[in-house]
């Protein structure tokens, strides 16, 4: 029976190979990468985690941030450090979940500045301060490539070299017969997908960017999501990696109840490894989500040695866990096979985690996050988003906005100005609610508009520990 399965899989793969060879929209390296991914997926080589073998990493493996040595104070020495660095932002995502068209990185976040503006200003100010030359790379997907090329033109005169390159473009797999969707007449964008940010390593090599960076004396690349406002260059981490010759570093941060689904670092068979919720056996999911045993989670701020990337990609050694992502395109069930960059940690030598401050993780995934960063809780200085010291609680307020606020345009219309939230613990808004100007929110505030009714919060209202269901409760 097993041999029949193997022969049918071999047949499927050979049919897939010949169909893929006829797809002239993608390069030979993309074709190879895709076939490689599918054959690994079909062979079912997924690693099964033996729960009993999981160990909590020691402080040598996940280094507490406050134990890192201070970087040199001499600016010539700092310049030497920074000249070994390049910054890469993952820029393949569209802002569709927030109701925007085009790359997510061009959503205005605060002070009229976009994610991309802030990133450029940050690196510019570093280059200016230390006389160094830290370049910025943007890894686009075929979805964001053209728009990004137009957008980066506005930085042409800035003191920063910006390079863009594309991650791989893979065909979606038709579930029924394992043939690529584009070979069945689905020639448009719907036939393709970008295979997750784990693709950053082969894409760097295939695009020629990796060799170009190494020829300029760059040794490390700092990789982060473009929507994480806390992911700024950190000299302490860079200094530590260069001194200790760590090939890979993942920044983790203490887990709160809001982060229970985030991947965590474990020690497993003598190596540091990322454990994602999808790998956890059902009976251990609650244990995984608890913040007692697994106290940290992955911020997706990654520091990686370029020589090591070249060595591992060339040897085809980065066999990260495959994440199957089922979709439906025009009624056809398809499969996207993806990988995540954090899962590569176990293939690098002397890989570590750094247990970094929460301030290094400030992602903007939804309009509730926009409310936080546009409020008086943060200010912007040299492109850096700085938290207000007047906030004594180390955790940010928990904010839940209803679907009426989901799209950025609706969010902007419903707030005349962003309320003061320095003393806010939690805010929950349900229904057709509109906010006036100069409002202050403190403690726990719940605002619920009855179905079919519009609830207006007047200008200059101060709401402290209130539950509001109608105008008379204000």
Rounded to 5 degrees, what are φ and ψ at 376?
A: -75, 5
The CA dihedral of 48, 54, 60, 65, to the nearest 10 degrees, is: 90
Q: What's the DSSP call for residue 66? A: G
CB atoms within 10 A of CB 377: 20
**Three-state DSSP class for 59?**
coil
The whole-angstrom separation of Cα 361 and Cα 230 is: 5
Pairing of strands 62-64, 352-355: parallel
Please, are residues 347 and 317 in contact by the beta-carbon 8 Å criterion? yes
Task: Tell me the binding residues for UTP.
Answer: 104, 167, 196, 227, 365
Q: Which residues lie below 8 Å from residue 163, measured CB to CB, with a gap of 6+?
A: 135, 136, 137, 138, 209, 212
Please, are residues 68 and 237 in contact by the beta-carbon 8 Å criterion? yes
Residue of 232, 203, 202 whose CA lies nearest to 134:
232
Please, are residues 224 and 300 in contact by the beta-carbon 8 Å criterion? yes
Rounded to 5 degrees, what are φ and ψ at 83?
A: -70, -10
Task: Tell me the binding residues.
Answer: 104, 167, 196-197, 227, 365
Segment (H or E) for 139: strand 136-140
Please, are residues 148 and 154 in contact by the beta-carbon 8 Å criterion? no
The whole-angstrom separation of Cα 369 and Cα 95 is: 14
**Residues listed for the chain:** 474
Please, are residues 244 and 238 in contact by the beta-carbon 8 Å criterion? no
The whole-angstrom separation of Cα 78 and Cα 369 is: 33
The CA dihedral of 299, 300, 306, 309, to the nearest 10 degrees, is: 130
Task: Tell me the binding residues for substrate.
Answer: 197
Please, are residues 266 and 55 in contact by the beta-carbon 8 Å criterion? yes
Residue of 274, 219, 217 whose CA lies nearest to 241:
219
The CA dihedral of 278, 321, 361, 78, to the nearest 10 degrees, is: 160
């Amino acid at each position: 029976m097993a041999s029949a399965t193997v022969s049918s899989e071999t047949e499927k793969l050979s049919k897939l190979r010949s169909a893929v060879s006829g797809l002239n929209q993608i390069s030979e390296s993309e074709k190879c990468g895709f076939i490689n991914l599918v054959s690994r997926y079909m062979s079912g080589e997924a690693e099964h985690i033996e729960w009993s073998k999981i160990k909590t990493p020691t402080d040598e493996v996940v280094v507490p941030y406050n134990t890192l040595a201070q970087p040199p104070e001499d600016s010539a020495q700092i310049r030497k450090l920074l000249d070994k660095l390049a910054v890469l932002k993952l820029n393949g995502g569209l802002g569709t979940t927030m109701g925007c068209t085009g790359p997510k990185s061009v959503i205005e976040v605060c002070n009229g500045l976009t994610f991309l503006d802030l990133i450029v200003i940050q690196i510019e100010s570093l280059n200016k301060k230390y006389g160094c030359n830290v370049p910025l790379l943007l890894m686009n997907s075929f979805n964001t490539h053209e728009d990004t090329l137009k957008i980066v033109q506005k930085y042409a005169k800035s003191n920063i070299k910006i390079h863009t390159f594309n991650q791989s473009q893979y065909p979606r797999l038709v579930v029924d017969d394992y043939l690529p969707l584009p070979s069945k007449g689905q020639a448009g964008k719907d036939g393709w997908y970008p295979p997750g940010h784990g693709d950053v390593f082969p894409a760097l090599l295939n695009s020629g960017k990796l060799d170009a960076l190494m020829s300029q004396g760059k040794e490390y690349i700092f990789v982060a999501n473009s929507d994480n406002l806390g992911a700024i260059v950190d000299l302490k981490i860079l200094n530590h990696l260069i001194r200790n010759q760590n090939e890979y570093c993942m920044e983790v941060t203490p887990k709160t109840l809001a982060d229970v689904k985030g991947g965590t670092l474990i020690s497993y068979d003598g190596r540091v490894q990322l454990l994602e919720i999808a790998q956890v056996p059902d009976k251990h999911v609650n244990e995984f989500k608890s913040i007692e045993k697994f106290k940290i989670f992955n911020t997706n701020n990654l520091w990686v040695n370029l020589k090591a990337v070249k060595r591992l990609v060339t040897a085809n050694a980065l066999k990260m866990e495959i994440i199957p992502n089922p979709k439906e395109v025009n009624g056809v069930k398809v499969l996207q096979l993806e990988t995540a960059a954090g899962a590569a940690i176990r293939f690098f030598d002397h890989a570590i985690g750094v247990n970094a401050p929460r301030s290094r993780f400030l992602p903007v995934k939804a309009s509730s996050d926009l409310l936080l960063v546009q409020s008086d809780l943060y200010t912007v200085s040299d492109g850096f988003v700085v938290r207000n010291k007047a906030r004594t609680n180390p955790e940010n307020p928990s904010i839940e906005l209803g679907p009426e606020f989901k799209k950025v345009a609706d969010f902007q219309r419903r707030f005349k100005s962003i309320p003061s939230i320095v003393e806010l613990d939690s805010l929950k808004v349900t229904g057709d609610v509109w906010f006036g100007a100069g409002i202050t929110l403190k403690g726990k505030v719940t605002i619920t508009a009855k179905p079919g009714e519009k609830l207006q919060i007047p200008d200059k209202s101060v709401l402290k520990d209130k539950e509001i269901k109608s105008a008379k409760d204000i």
